[in-house]
Structure 1
Amino acid sequence: LSELLKPCLITSYDIKARRAHFFSQVDAKVKNTHNYPVKEVARATSAAPTYFETALASSEYGIAYPLIDGGVFANNPAMCAYAEARGIVFSEVLNDPLKPDRPHAKEMIMISLGTGSVRKPYHYDKAKDWGMIEWIKPVIDIMMSGNAETVSYQLRKIWETTETPENFIRLEPGLDEANSDMDDASESNLYALNQAGKLFVEGNIGLLDKIVEMLIANK
């Protein structure tokens, strides 16, 4: 983790300590208690419950943590990224005196990438009589999507207080006819996901070109 080229933050959740666990490249560079093999970081942050078994990630210091996918509490980790960036002294971390120390939103460009949205409606005439069993899947769906939407709302409001509201961009493609189930790796669904991605690109060429220009201008 400490050898990654740029500062980064990766989320996971410690099921034993019952708290969020963040992998930080900045912290890993100065503390071996925070340094992990990248393969263990990737395994932990992708350990989605019911799909993959819990990861047991060991730091360079030798402490092991039982971790699962950070999406259970930060389905949209953009706010976590913003908070992390606010605390980094970039002039020191990147060894560049021209970089701002602990930058504010007006000094940042944030490109928030979603993995595709499916807004399945739940109708009153059916939901009004649901009990515990019927609500299990809808509640999880609503909590996950609601969390992501709330974070985008909060960040959009933060950037609206600056002189550069256009510097926060959220890209969230629709999945069109694709199935959002994580374990559907069928050939037909992979094709549908590919088509959904292409449809989003086709409909947002101007915005994507703008993002490229912004990133090149601020590299």
Structure 2
Amino acid sequence: LFNWMDAAKSSADDYKVWEAARATSAAPTYFPVGNVGGGQNSNSNAQERWVLDGGVMSNNPAIWAVTEAFRTGMATSLSDIVLISLGTGTYACGAGLVTAHQGDPDPDNGNWGYMPWITSDLEDLSGNDNGRGAVVNIITESVQLVSGQQLQALTASGLTYYRLEPPIIQGQTHMDNIDPGNIDSLITTASEYLIDNATGEKTFNAIVAELTALQPVSVSV
């Protein structure tokens, strides 16, 4: 993790801001692996590393925020932490399986070999091509779900935790789709989630109230 505290303590962790941005942008198949540190060209003199987008390891980094708060001494108990987690939307794709009333477009209805699990484009529960193997879908989605469930469980021990993540449709899931129509649809989906969705609206209003209460109060003397 790139952070100011480690950078201030050790020159080996003192990376430039653009290097952190380069690292978090190195999403496999979208951008090449990043090279940071090492002192060559415009790189910092920090330890040389080859880096990938952190989402490969932790697609929902909210749990890291809690552990970092303790590691850095910013928190000593869960009750010290207010965690606001903003998701980019979730699509319940079904990873290529079909329901009983549907046909069987995929071999053995889930009893697959190497190709369907790893590379094949399988149809999801809505009949859409999900664009990647089932294992990739399961790994990326489960990381988000498990992190959310773990954090929700910690609220019983004092953590204040809010999660905003609207449901999206298959056509909105591709992160490289910069078509203006898709951007507009994402904005509409997010707005409707915050205004018309009971869960989204309630959570959003609770976040606003929480942040308002945390704002410093100015006192005139």
**TM-score, normalised with respect to structure 1:** 0.77
Q: Could you tell me how far apart the structure 2 residues matched to 1:200 and 1:154 are?
A: 23
**Alignment correspondent of 1:94:** none
Structure 1: unaligned runs, 5 residues or longer: 1-21, 91-101
Please name the residue that 1:212 is paired with.
208
CA contact (8 A) 1:55 1:68 kept: yes
Query: Which residue among 23, 27, 30 is the counterpart of 1:48?
Result: 27
30-39 or 178-187, larger mean C-alpha shift: 178-187
Q: 2:190 aligns with which of 197, 202, 210?
A: 197
Q: What amino acid sits opposite 1:113 in the alignment?
A: L
Change (3 A) 1:72 1:31: same
Please report how far the alpha carbon of residue 216 of structure 1 lies from its aligned counterpart in structure 2 after TM superposition.
Answer: 2.4
2:144 corresponding residue in structure 1: 148
Tell me, in whole angstroms, the C-alpha distance in 2 between the residues paired with 1:179 and 1:138: 19
Tell me if 1:109 matches 2:93: no
- 1:132 and 1:190 map into 2 onto residues whose CA distance is 35
Q: Who is 1:30 aligned against?
A: 9
- Is residue 2:115 matched to residue 1:133? yes
**Matches of 1:89 and 1:206 in 2, distance apart?**
31
Give CA deviations for 1:165-218 in whole Å, capped at 9, x if unaligned.
6x2111111124642112211122112211111111212334312212211212
1:123 equivalent to 2:123? Answer no
What percentage of aligned pairs have identical amino acids?
A: 30
Amino acid at match of 1:104: S
- TM-score, length of structure 2 as denominator length: 0.76
Q: Is the 8 A contact 1:177 1:192 kept in 2?
A: no
C-alpha displacement of 1:146: 0.3
> Shift in Å at residue 129 of structure 1?
3.6
Q: CA deviation at 1:68?
A: 0.7
Gaps of 5+ in 2: 39-43, 99-103, 119-132, 216-221
Contact 1:178–1:193 (CA under 8 A) maintained in structure 2: no
Are the equivalent residues in 2 in contact too, given 1:76–1:148 (CA < 8 A)? yes
